[in-house]
Amino acid sequence: MAYQPAAPPPKKSKRVLFIVLGVVLALCCSGGALGAFLIYRVAMDATGPVRSTVNTFAGALVERDYPTAYQQLCIRIRDRVSEADFTQQQATEPDLTGHKITGLSVSNQNGLVTGSATVRYTPAEGGATSRVYPLIKEEGNWRICE
């Protein structure tokens, strides 16, 4: 009888390996997406109220609605400057046609919560001018307090 070499072992299917790798990859991707979403939500929860206050203030300046802008100021400034004086001061500023918030930050140092916002205004005569507004949290609301 002639020598017959042993038959090579059958190739193992890699199907199970690919299924397991696909499931692991899908879990990693969905976990990363969920983490990114949660980080985004935390950031928006922290800066959303600040953005709202600054938008109200800057929009009121553009619209020349000075009483609304005045109400966005902190008590310390409102005690020092009357609404009539604020209105008179703002009325001397150039006309504005728009604004855009270009930067926001919120910080908490030893329980003192503060913020900062950078706003770029578009004057009617052209160009652009930026202004940085410091903010404080006062009686649960964000106020501009320069």
Helix (H) or strand (E) holding 109: strand 96-109
Q: What are 104's strand-pairing partners? A: 117
Residue-wise pLDDT tens digits, 39-77 = 556 555 557 899 999 999 999 999 999 999 999 999 999
Q: What are 120's strand-pairing partners? A: 100, 130
Residue-wise pLDDT tens digits, 111-139 = 888 999 999 999 988 889 999 999 999 98
What is the pTM assigned to this prediction?
A: 0.70
